[in-house]
Amino acid sequence: MKILLLGKNGQVGWELQRSLSPLGELISLDRHGEDGLCGDLSDLVGLRATLRRVRPDIIVNAAAYTAVDKAEVETELADCVNAQACQVMAEEAAALDAWLIHYSTDYVFNGEGSTPWAETDAVAPLNRYGVSKAVGEQVIIDSGCKHLIFRTSWCYGARGSNFAKTMMRLARERDTLSVIADQIGSPTGADLIADVTTLAIRRVLQAPELAGVYHLAAGGEVSWHGYASFVIDFARSHGEAIAVTTINAIETSAYPTPARRPLNSRLNTHKLCRAFSLHLPDWQSGVTRMLREILDK
Ligand code: NDP
């Protein structure tokens, strides 16, 4: 079994390097490529040539243009990486009869209401990043290739920067913080996403009828304000020198950004849990583990 992993050094890609390695021969690329292989999703010709040369049984695409605000101006690049590259991967996967495993986002939804989004709900992205991700999903589905698309939300990893690390840094430096309290979602660890991906791949190889779109997020829900408070309380109880005394809860409208964000980022994960017999742990357990990894260093 030959697996080609794209985006190997992103949050999810890094964890996939670990979780996919027992499945078969793993060829992992970042945007710089190696051995003459192209891992740059903005180079569609190079990407296609690489897929034809490697001839993988499974393509796992963890690469994406994820700079949500910058995507409002770098629209062409975001569309190329998040949508046109998916078209190339899907066409080549179909030609090779390979599986294409891809990731998408709750940002394909408009964030209305408070009901967790189901896979059958209509997409209506609020920003250019969301549009590019929605198109990427659709070209994969339309191509007819064997695919798994996992929509996830509020992803974090212990490696690199993340919201929790930023909040801890600010909490050490300032006595007051203001954090958005009307966007609700579920912080989801890159390790959980990678582990579920690997379990699901093992299962679909035996049961290809399970191909499709799935929502993948940790259990429970929280606002960014609640998430920040959890992180800061944990850091304080862990002996960190925390200066912050007040964490103000603010509305999205008080913190304007170039890209609009959905208020309701809740994802209904019943389909995934049923199809793959999974239990998704609550968001606190993964965040606590990540905080321990950072703070116990
Ligand atoms: P990261 O931003 O951590 O990783 C994305 C990776 O893609 C980076 O390694 C980046 O490389 C790479 N990349 C960017 N542009 C290119 C390019 N032109 N060619 C090749 N590689 C490129 O994202 P995550 O790991 O968090 O995201 C994984 C998936 O999950 C993505 O599909 C994302 O859309 C989705 N998702 C993420 C969420 C989140 O909160 N992060 C929420 C919901 C969904 P470099 O570092 O060199 O730029």
Residue 294: the pLDDT is 87
Residue 158: the pLDDT is 83
Cα of 106 from ligand 1 centre, angstroms: 15
Distance CA(216)–CA(186), nearest Å, equals 10
* Amino acid symbol at 200: A
Q: Atom 32 in ligand 1: which residue has the minimum CA distance?
A: 103
Q: Where are the alpha helices (DSSP H) in 144-250?
A: 163-173, 190-206, 224-237
Which domains are delineated in the chain?
Answer: 2-161+186-221+265-283 (3.40.50.720)
Cα of 287 from ligand 1 centre, angstroms: 20
What is the pTM (predicted TM-score) of this model? 0.95
Q: Which atom of ligand 1 lies nearest, measured to the CA of 129?
A: 34
Instruction: Give strand pairing partners of 28.
Output: 5
Q: Where are the alpha helices (DSSP H) in 21-127?
A: 44-54, 75-79, 85-96
Q: Where are the alpha helices (DSSP H) in the chain?
A: 11-20, 44-54, 75-79, 85-96, 128-143, 163-173, 190-206, 224-237, 270-276, 283-295
Q: Which residues line ligand 1 (CB under 6 A)?
A: 7, 9-13, 31, 39-42, 62-66, 81, 103, 105, 133, 152-155, 190
User: Quick check: is 129 catalytic?
Assistant: yes
Distance CA(261)–CA(111), nearest Å, equals 8
Distance CA(34)–CA(37), nearest Å, equals 5
Q: Which atom of ligand 1 lies nearest, measured to the CA of 12?
A: 25
Q: Which atom of ligand 1 lies nearest, measured to the CA of 106?
A: 43
Walking along the chain (297 residues) 10 residues at a time, the average pLDDT comes out as 96 97 96 94 98 98 96 97 98 98 98 97 97 98 97 91 91 94 96 98 97 98 97 92 93 92 96 97 96 85
DSSP SS3 for 9: coil
Q: Which of 107, 129, 214, 227 is catalytic?
A: 129
DSSP 41: T
Contact between residue 88 and residue 47 where contact means Cβ atoms under 8 Å apart: yes
